[in-house]
C-alpha cells in the first residue's frame, strides 16, 4: 500500500509546515514489527501501547522501549508501573509485545549531566535513542497529548527525527496519535479497560511511592478526575435478550386482553 507523507526531499516523516510529498511502500513482511512505542509507564504512553497491542499479532508484535535516565523523575515508580502493566496485559492475553529498556548512567554526575536550559529534556533523549532501535520501515510512537509542552517544539522534533532517519537510511514515520486527545480522554479510556490504577503519574513521589499531589502531573491528573466525576453517568443498557422477552410478554398480554374482549362481545 502506498502512503503519502508531507516531507522535504526523500524524507518519510510528517513535518509540520512543509508542502512536498513523497510516496513509499509500507512493508507488510511477516515477523517485522511496524510499531515501536516510547513507553514510560504513564497514562499517555500506556494508552498508545494498548491501542497498538490489541491490533498486533504474534507474527507482527508491537515493540515497547523504555529509556531510564537520572534526569527523568520517579524512575523506580515508573519501572514498577511498567511491570504491573506487563502482568496485566499478559493476564488479559493481549497479543505479544516485545519489551526492552535502555538505561543511561553517569560515572561522575556532578560534572556531567543533561541540561535543558528551561526547555524539554525528554523528547531530545527519547527520539535519538529510540531512532537507533527502529527497523528499516518501523514507525516511532510518542504519547504526547493535547496541551503538552512538546507541541511548542513539534517542528523541531520532526526535523530531528527526519535527519536521524536519513543518516541511518530508514523510512519510519514519527507518530503522535494522542495529539488531539486531552488528559480526560486518556483517563476515561484507561478506566474503562481497567489500566488506569496501574499507571504512574507523579514526578515527586514519597519513598513509599505515594503521589505528592503538588507537581504538575499530579495537579493535571486531579483536575481531569474532578471533571470526569462531574460527567453524567451513562445509563445502563438493557440486554437485548431481556428487552425482547419483556416485549414478548407485553405483546402476549395485549393479545390475551383483546381475545377476552372479543369473547365478551360475542356472548353479550
Distance CA 190, CA 187 (A): 5
Q: What is the pLDDT of residues 1-32, one digit of tens each?
A: 333 333 333 334 444 444 433 333 333 444 45
Distance CA 139, CA 220 (A): 29
The pTM (predicted TM-score) of the whole model is 0.74
What is the enclosing helix (H) or strand (E) of 46? helix 43-53
pLDDT band (50, 70, 90) for residue 140 = very high
pLDDT of residue 237: 65
Region 243-248: what's the mean pLDDT?
77
Q: Quick count: other Cβ atoms within 10 Å of Cβ 24?
A: 15
Entry field: residues in the chain: 268
Statement: residue 267 has pLDDT above 90: no
Distance set, CA 256 to CA 174, 179, 244, 245, 253 (Å): 67, 59, 18, 16, 5
Strand ranges for 104-153 from DSSP E: 139-141
Distance CA 126, CA 124 (A): 6
Among residues 100, 1, 93, 101, the alpha carbon closest in space to that of 53 is found at 93
Q: Quick count: other Cβ atoms within 10 Å of Cβ 194?
A: 10
pLDDT band (50, 70, 90) for residue 116 = low
Amino acid at each position: 500500500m502506498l502512503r503519502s507523507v508531507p516531507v522535504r526531499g526523500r524524507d518519510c516523516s510528517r513535518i509540520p509546515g512543509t508542502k512536498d510529498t513523497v510516496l513509499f511502500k509500507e512493508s507488510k513482511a511477516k515477523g517485522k514489527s511496524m510499531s515501536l512505542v516510547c513507553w514510560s509507564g504513564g497514562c499517555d504512553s500506556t494508552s498508545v501501547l494498548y491501542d497498538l497491542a490489541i491490533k498486533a499479532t504474534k507474527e507482527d508484535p508491537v515493540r515497547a522501549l523504555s529509556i531510564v535516565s537520572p534526569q527523568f523523575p520517579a524512575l523506580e515508580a515508573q519501572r514498577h508501573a511498567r511491570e504491573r502493566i506487563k502482568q496485566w496485559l499478559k493476564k488479559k492475553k493481549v497479543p505479544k509485545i516485545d519489551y526492552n529498556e535502555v538505561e543511561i548512567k553517569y560515572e561522575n554526575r556532578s560534572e556531567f549531566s543533561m541540561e535543558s536550559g528551561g526547555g524539554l529534556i525528554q523528547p531530545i533523549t527519547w527520539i535519538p535513542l529510540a531512532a537507533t532501535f527502529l527497523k528499516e520501515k518501523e514507525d516511532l510512537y510518542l504519547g504526547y497529548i493535547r496541551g503538552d509542552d512538546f507541541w511548542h517544539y513539534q517542528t523541531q522534533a520532526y526535523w530531528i527525527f527526519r535527519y536521524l532517519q536519513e543518516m541511518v537510511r530508514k523510512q519510519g514515520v514519527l507518530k503522535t496519535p494522542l495529539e488531539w486527545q486531552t488528559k480526560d480522554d486518556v483517563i476515561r479510556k484507561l478506566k474503562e479497560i481497567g489500566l488506569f490504577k496501574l499507571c504512574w503519574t507523579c514526578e515527586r513521589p514519597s519513598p513509599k511511592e505515594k503521589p505528592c499531589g503538588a507537581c504538575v502531573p499530579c495537579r493535571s491528573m486531579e483536575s481531569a478526575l474532578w471533571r470526569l466525576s462531574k460527567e453524567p453517568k451513562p445509563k445502563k443498557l438493557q440486554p437485548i435478550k431481556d428487552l425482547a422477552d419483556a416485549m414478548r410478554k407485553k405483546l402476549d398480554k395485549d393479545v390475551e386482553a383483546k381475545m377476552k374482549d372479543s369473547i365478551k362481545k360475542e356472548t353479550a
